[in-house]
């Protein structure tokens, strides 16, 4: 009985802490995602104080600054009261990075993901695909450095886990009206 009340109290205090951080002028003014609080919503949550692990289950949504993550399950690992990493599983795990003005949003999906908030590093594992606009990266492992907006895919030492990249050409101006657009064949439309 004491453990259940302690968990409820901790979860309530954690919620109050995140709400206070999210609404403070200092947090709103920060530019780096890794400096922002991590906000999590789920259908249920379990906190194990002895292990320093919280588990979130069912329609999990996590957000830190411009980075959004959705999954079926999310486990948060704490080290000395500080978030060390988040591990997500899902069918699939999805992420998006809300674009700054003038840039395209980045999205991705995989079966598993690990996120290291201090490094702003997201690792997509198993059937990973990341796309921005019409360009895509697909591999068994993709590392996304959110702080520097760098995508690394595949493993150099493995020929069996190949990286597949699609880079679409820039859209050209049509000669009839001068507007930006691309010509599409009727065959492409029917697909």
Would 113 be classed as within a structural domain? yes
Residue 46 lies in a domain: yes
Q: Per the structure, how many domains does the chain have?
A: 1
In a domain, 162, yes or no: no
107 assigned to some structural domain: yes
> Residues 18, 41: contact at Cβ < 8 Å?
no
CATH assignment at residue 77? 2.60.450.10
Q: Going residue by residue through the chain (191 aa), what tens digit of pLDDT does each one get?
A: 334 445 554 444 444 344 444 433 333 323 577 788 999 999 999 999 999 999 999 999 999 988 899 999 999 999 988 999 999 999 999 999 887 777 788 899 999 999 999 888 999 999 999 988 888 889 999 998 887 878 888 876 666 668 888 887 876 554 445 544 444 333 333 33
pLDDT at residue 22 in the model: 41
Quote the CA–CA distance of 188 and 18 in Å, as a whole number.
48
- Domain membership of residue 66 as a residue range: 2-124
**Do the domain assignments include residue 133?**
no
The answer to whether residue 45 is domain-embedded is yes
Phi, psi of 48 (to 5 degrees): -110, 100
């Amino acid at each position: 009985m004491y453990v259940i009340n302690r968990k409820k109290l901790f979860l309530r205090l954690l919620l109050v802490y995140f709400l206070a951080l999210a609404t403070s002028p200092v947090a709103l003014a920060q530019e780096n995602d890794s400096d922002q609080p991590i906000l999590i919503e789920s259908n249920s949550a379990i906190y194990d104080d002895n292990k320093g692990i919280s588990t979130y289950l069912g329609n999990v949504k996590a957000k830190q600054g411009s980075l959004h993550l959705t999954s079926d399950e999310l486990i948060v690992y704490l080290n000395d009261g500080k978030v060390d990493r988040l591990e997500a599983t899902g069918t699939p795990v999805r992420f998006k990075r809300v674009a700054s003005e003038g840039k395209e949003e980045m999205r991705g999906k995989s079966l598993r993901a690990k996120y290291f908030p201090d490094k702003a590093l997201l690792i997509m594992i198993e059937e990973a695909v990341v796309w921005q606009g019409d360009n895509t990266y697909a591999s068994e492992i993709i590392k996304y450095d959110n702080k520097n907006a760098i995508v690394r895919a595949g493993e150099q030492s493995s020929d069996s886990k190949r990286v597949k990249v699609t880079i679409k050409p820039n859209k050209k101006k049509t000669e009839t009206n001068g507007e930006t657009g691309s010509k599409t064949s009727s065959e492409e439309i029917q697909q």
